Chains A and B, each alone.
Chain A
Amino acid sequence: MKQATYTITENTLLAPSVYRMALVGDTSPITAPGQFINIALDGLYLRRPISICAWNEKGLAIIYKVVGRGTEQLSRLALGQTIDALTGLGNGYDVSACPNTPLLVGGGVGVPPLYGLAKALLAAGKKPSVILGFNRADEIFGDMEFAALGVPVTVTTADGSAGVKGFVTDAMKGGEYVCACGPEPMLRAVYQRASDGQFSFEARMGCGFGACMGCTLETRTGYKRICKDGPVLGYREIKW
């Protein structure tokens, strides 16, 4: 963990209410895909945790959905403005624990961290494929970016307006090693069909770095703080 000041170099609408923000600044504390930053915003007391989509030595990108006052304020920030963030937070995906052909499954704003994971898996010589789930065709984002990496992409939509009609689980064969990120009902459904994998959790957090015990989950291996021991937890730890 480190406190960093990032300069906004991009803040563009990708899909309804979904924005991509590029930030320039210190990324040295970021060590794994699936980690997050915790952003301070004017007039709001608690920071807002947002997963890191991709990063390099110069900066990082986040993709967020406007769901409340914090993300709404984020969407109005202009290029050149700076944000104060705690960076390199959490325990991300373990690339070395993945088999040669892991399946990545993302739903909605759970998709972004899987992009960074796909890049890390490719760099490690592995061959991921990805299933991206959305409600409707106009909400789809990220599919082209995964395709550009050469990763096979399957899109599902709940209303069938694009790709496979149904949920992400409808595009799974069953029994796969899955790296998942998305809303909890999706994670639970994926967990039931997967044989192993890594699952990224979301929570309302106090600090985001393990001090307040505001986001603890009971697992098979003890109490885990989603912000510090997670957000990514192993299939075998999860008590579902």
Chain B
Amino acid sequence: MPDTRVDLLGIELSNPVIPASGTFGYGREFAELYDLDILGSFSFKGTTLQPRLGNPLPRIAEAPSGMLNAVGLQNPGVDRVISEELPELAKIFHKPVMANVSGFSIGEYAETCARLDACAQVGWLEVNISCPNVHNGGMSFGTDPAQAAAVTRAVKSVTTKPVIMKLSPNVTDIAAIARACADAGADGLSLINTLMGMRIDPRRRAPIIANTTGGLSGPAIFPVALRMVWQVYEAVDIPIIGMGGVQCAEDVIEMMLAGATAVQVGAANLVNPLACPQIIAALPGVMEQYGIDNLKDITGGAHHG
């Protein structure tokens, strides 16, 4: 039987499949359909210090082989996440969960992470410096190496949990941002967040999304994500969580061969709520097909020399 276990920053995952933040809420809707404990872990909805309603509607648009979203970090704020969502989550998921954090200032990132650091359920902090859908925050920290490093240092100083910086693909050189985060003490990196895009409604002669632009996700971005994971793997020595358009077990293998230690599944959960269990069920067979005994051995396996 092929071994699907991987180690993510000192925590063993039964398999590398992790639903991505913003596509899985706090797990409740999916727990109606399957046992969440089959997942490697999951990354819960992006959390900020204060509650946020998010952007006006429409927030969603169709795209070729994908979708655009401009939700804008709707969340109840870190205190209610800790007092209300995490206790509910504990009933349906019994493994370490990944806490996804966003902010509008370096101090806010640090404060939110400090509060989540106290939660035993949280295995890792995934720090989103790449949200394309909020102004004066999110992505602006992830497009400048010095800012990315500053957020990394601030978060590292308030937590002993592994810190994973979530990177934006909306940059000229993602390897430079990755290096800046690694040099500032990041324990791992996750990439990619969504690619900025838009659609226009010809009838109204106006953008479909109220925020004008949104983030593109889905299989359309898989080759871009794979290329960036490849580049970042060559640039840094810390573990990478690969994501972007992953929808089947073969995609997981490709991501890992490019350099990922674990793999997040995002938009696929929204159109096929059984995507993750189907990927996990297919993994051993696909591993056998490619002669893989231990999944953890293939990370970066496509880089030769």
Which residues of A are at the interface with B, using a C-beta cutoff of 8 A?
1-3, 40, 44-47, 70, 86, 203-207, 209-218, 223, 228
- Contacting pair B69 A206 (CB below 8 A): yes
Cβ–Cβ contact B29 & A228, under 8 A: yes
Does B121 count as interface, using CB distance less than 8 angstroms?
Answer: no
Contact of B61 with A212 in the complex, beta carbons under 8 Å? no
Provide the residues of chain B in CB contact with A2, threshold 8 Å.
33
Query: Does the CB pair A216–B53 fall under 8 Å?
Result: yes
Q: A45-B218, A210-B28, A214-B59 are in contact. List 6 more A-B contacts (CB 8 A).
A: A45-B63, A204-B61, A207-B29, A213-B45, A213-B71, A216-B54
Question: Is B57 a contact of A1 with CB atoms below 8 Å?
Answer: no
- Please, how many residues of chain B have a CB less than 8 angstroms from a CB on the other chain? 35
- Tell me the complex Cα distance, A206–B57, Å: 12
A1, A205, A213, A228 — most chain B CB neighbours (10 Å): A213
CA distance A139 to B67 in the complex (A): 33
**Could you say which residues of chain B place their CB within 8 Å of the CB of A228?**
29
Q: Are B53 and A45 closer than 8 Å at their CB atoms?
A: no
Residues of B within 8 A of A210 (CB): 25, 28-29
| Nearest A residue to B55, CB-CB | A216
Contacts of A213 in B (CB 8 A): 22, 25, 45, 54, 59, 71, 74
Whether B67 lies near A46 (C-beta < 8 A) is yes
Measured between beta carbons, the chain A residues less than 8 angstroms from B54 are 213, 216
Chain A residue numbers with a CB within 8 Å of B270 are 46, 206-207, 211-212
Is B57 touching A204 in the complex (CB atoms < 8 A)? Answer: yes
Instruction: Give, as a whole number of angstroms, the nearest-CB distance from B201 to chain A.
Output: 10
Complex Cα–Cα for A45 and B64 (A): 7
Residue pair A212, B23 in contact (C-beta under 8 Å): yes
Decide if A203 touches B58 in the complex (CB within 8 Å): yes
Cβ–Cβ < 8 Å partners of A223 in chain B: 53, 74
Q: Which residues of A contact B32 (CB under 8 A)?
A: 1
Q: Nearest Cβ distance between residue A43 and chain B, in whole angstroms? A: 9
A-B residue pairs, 8 tightest by C-beta: A207-B270, A214-B60, A204-B58, A213-B74, A206-B60, A210-B29, A204-B60, A211-B25
* B120 contacts chain A at the CB level, 8 A cutoff: no
A-B contact pairs, 13 of them (CB 8 A): A3-B273, A3-B274, A40-B271, A45-B67, A70-B62, A86-B273, A203-B58, A204-B58, A206-B270, A211-B23, A213-B54, A214-B71, A215-B59
Question: Contacts A40-B271, A45-B62, A205-B60 given: A214-B69 contact, CB under 8 Å?
Answer: yes
Q: In the complex, what's the smallest C-beta–C-beta distance from A111 to chain B, in angstroms?
A: 23
Report Cα–Cα, A47/B273, bound state, in Å: 12
Q: How far is the CA of A70 from the CA of B61 in the complex (A)?
A: 13
Whether A216 pairs with B69 at a CB distance below 8 angstroms is: no
- Which residues from chain B contact A212 at a C-beta distance below 8 Å? 22-23, 25, 60, 69, 71, 270
Residue of B nearest to A67 (CB): B203
Closest to B64 in A: A45
Residue in B62, B66, B273 whose CB lies within 8 Å of A207? B273
Contact of B65 among A3, A45, A206 (CB under 8 A): A45
Residue of A nearest to B26 (CB): A211
Taking the closest CB of chain B, its distance from the CB of A93, in whole angstroms, is: 21
**B109 interface contact, C-beta 8 A:** no
**Of B61, B218, B271, most A-chain CB atoms within 10 Å:** B271
- Chain B residues in 8 Å Cβ range of A86: 273
On chain A, the residues within 8 Å of B30 by CB distance are 211
Q: How far is the CA of A216 from the CA of B72 in the complex (A)?
A: 11
Q: Report the minimal beta-carbon distance from B73 to chain A, rounded to whole angstroms.
A: 9
- Shortest CB-to-CB span from B102 to chain A, Å, is 13
